[in-house]
Amino acid sequence: LHHDVFFFVILIFVFVSWILGRALWNFHYKKIQSRKGLFMELISRFFGPFFLVSSLCSLLYHHLVCYTQWTSFDEQSITFESYTIPEDDLELGQSRLLEVENKVVLLAKSPIRFIVTSGDVPHSWDVPSLGVKCDVVPGRLNQTYILVQPEGVYYSQCSEICGTYHAFMPIVVEAVPRKYYGS
C-alpha cells in the first residue's frame, strides 16, 4: 500500500514542480493580460482534491475484519478470517467480547515467527500471557518470535486505539501439542 501511494505522490510532485518551474520561467516579469492558464487551473482545482479524497475512501470502509495468513513449517499458506462472536450467539461459559469464530492454533513448545501488517490503521497484536506484543502498521512488515511453553487458550484484545470498534477486536490463541496439531 505504501509503495503504491508513494508512486502517485511522486507523480503529483513532478507534475506540480513542472508547472511551477514553467510558470517561473515564462511569467516571472510579465504581467498576465489574459487567462491563458484557465484549463490548468481547473484541472488542479478539481482533480487534486479528487485524488486526495479517493485515496481516503478505502480507509473509511475497512474495519472489523481480522484477516490472517499463516505459512506453516512446511511452507504451505494457511488463510482464514476471524470475527467476534455476537452476544446472541454465545454459549454458556464463553466470554463476552473475547470469543472469536476461528482461533489461532499454534504448536506448543515450538518457536514461531510472526510477520504482520495492517490494511487500514495501526493495530497491536498483543497477548500479554504469552509475553508478546507486536505493533502492526499499514504498509509495513513487522516481525516477532514467540515460544509457547504451556498448552492452553490465551485471550487478549488489540492494544492500540485503532478506531471505533477498537474494543471489539479480540485475539484468541490456542496452543496444542504436536500430536493434536493439524487435526
pLDDT value of residue 67: 46
What φ, ψ does residue 29 adopt, rounded to 5°? -115, -15
DSSP, collapsed to helix, strand or coil, labels residue 136 as strand
pLDDT value of residue 78: 60
Sequential pLDDT tens for the chain (183 residues): 677 888 899 999 999 999 988 888 877 665 656 667 778 787 878 887 887 777 776 655 544 444 445 555 555 556 667 778 888 888 888 878 788 888 888 888 888 887 777 777 888 888 888 888 888 888 888 888 888 888 999 988 877 777 776 667 888 888 998 888 776
The CATH code for residues 66-176 is 2.60.40.420
What are the DSSP E strand ranges found in 19-140?
66-71, 77-82, 104-107, 111-116, 123-127, 132-136
CA distances from residue 53 to 24, 46, 56, 60, 137 in whole angstroms, order as listed = 29, 11, 5, 10, 21
pLDDT value of residue 75: 57
C-alpha grid cell, residue 134: 507486536
Q: What is the dihedral of CA 98, 102, 103, 108, to 10 degrees?
A: 170
C-alpha grid cell, residue 20: 511551477
C-alpha grid cell, residue 72: 506453516
d(C-alpha 18, C-alpha 50), whole Å: 20
For the chain, the structural domain boundaries read 2-60, 66-176
> What single DSSP character describes residue 126?
E
pLDDT value of residue 30: 59
